[in-house]
Structure 1
């Protein structure tokens, strides 16, 4: 009978794994109270906690291919220079991804009912497609144009070749029937600049480096302690700094 109660090494290993990572419920790892319900032998130790990941740098809408394409394109629009990092290092593609996953991507705060007419440039976008749809089409066509011209993916091109592909979109030299090439480029360019200089809370401007390049103080709570003093350089603050207090 004693032999029947012994657990084989495989079950012991599985139980130890579950204790150290949390129960797996519906595909999600759950720790905390549920994890503490599993019995633990005295000689077994819990693995030390690892440093928390930055979950703000995680995809919410893009596929990995779309993200890589956006990262490469935005880097050419806002390249790294001596003055500071470019779009890739600033996390601009994450910013755009998060915006497309939210109200901006759904055009949630805009009137989107028919009839639809081609508006003047001063009127802004007047179409039926949501921004997330425009990005889906635009990125796909950007890749297609790259394959047509160079037989290579956009991410495999040299910098000057990527610039030429983007310029074709900017100057409406790509024949598209679903979206305006220049309209997509302008939307991508605007989103790139917003991602470089927005509050890091929204995924871009990593480490506030975009602000540091411009000596911009960011989201300060008040200036009452320095307003009557000589000019001084202020370390920028993010909205995240205030949320943590």
Structure 2
């Protein structure tokens, strides 16, 4: 074919692929040059409002959980992360509030998950979530089943009304998948609420959990500090400054 190299080892497909790659690289560098030119001219190279910053915590009340559901979730997170002399419980750290805000948002609605069938039972975790229910729906179904289970086996008492020792027994049974929860299994629900509780304990306080940055203080995490240049040469020394949230902290000034 006219225009093709004489080398028989180069196929038409290889040539076309190479040409496409070269065009892509050229376009990328051209775009980069355009951004640089706009920056040098003083023009902002992006449009305002294009990013998706975290939405600050909406204070007071529950956005998704009903009052009864919220009491159950608070009772669960209080036992998953009990308070001691090292730090607050999951409840006092705001983990239930964190979960509530997550369920009321994009995560709870599975907006970024593929939610079409088929769903495979006992699939490898590599396949991701295998449920037709969104996380918010999973909580609603499982909390209802948990309430029914506890009332049937603990003298008509819901989970939040059980003594701490009995709550631990119920959670241990859920971890093994022993209670038969209708609609969403007890073991998947235990894994979900445990994961969300840990996230709430260590996430930025802007999302409702990790109140007073208690989780960060517990592990010595500095938080969202914007500049570490003053500490580059002292990496072997203890970091003594308190953590900083995306919202800052009381009395915070740069470098303190």
The TM-score with structure 1 as length reference comes to: 0.74
What CA RMSD, in Å, does the superposition of the two structures yield over aligned residues?
A: 1.8
Distance 1:227 1:202, change over 3 A: same
- Paired residue for 1:124? 128
Q: Does 1:111 align with 2:118?
A: no
Q: Which residue of 2 aligns with 1:236?
A: 243
Structure 2 partner of 1:169: 174
Q: Is 1:159 aligned with 2:175?
A: no
Q: Report the counterpart of residue 92 of structure 1 in structure 2.
A: 95
Partners of 2:131 and 2:110 in 1: how far apart? 11
Alignment of 1:1-245 (within 5 A): 55-118=58-121, 119-151=123-155, 152-229=157-234, 230-241=237-248
CA contact under 8 A between 1:59 and 1:97: conserved in structure 2? yes
Partner deviation per Cα, 1:155-188 (whole Å, 9 max, x = no partner): 1111110011111211111123411210010000
Shift of 1:55: 4.1
Tell whether the 8 Å contact from 2:150 to 2:159 is kept in structure 1 after alignment.
yes
Distance in structure 2 (CA, Å) of the matches to 1:146 and 1:213? 33
Give deviations 1:77-102, integer Å, cap 9, x for gaps.
11101211011110110000000001
Give, in angstroms, the shift of residue 56 of structure 1. Answer: 3.0
Aligned residue number for residue 49 of structure 2: none
Distance in 2 of aligned mates of 1:143 and 1:180: 14
Alpha-carbon deviation of 1:71?
0.3
What secondary structure sits across from 1:169 in the alignment? helix
| Matched-pair contact (CA < 8 Å) for 1:57–1:94 | no
Q: Do the aligned partners of 1:142 and 1:165 also contact (CA within 8 Å) in 2?
A: no
SS in 1 for 2:65: coil
Structure 2 gaps, min length 5 = 1-56
In the alignment, which residue of structure 2 is the partner of 1:19?
A: none
Structure 1 unmatched runs, 5+: 1-53
Query: What is the TM-score with the length of structure 2 in the denominator?
Result: 0.70
Match of 2:230, SS state, is: coil
The number of aligned residues is 191
Say if 1:92 and 1:196, in contact at 8 Å, map to a contact too. yes
Matches of 1:176 and 1:63, distance apart in 2:
20
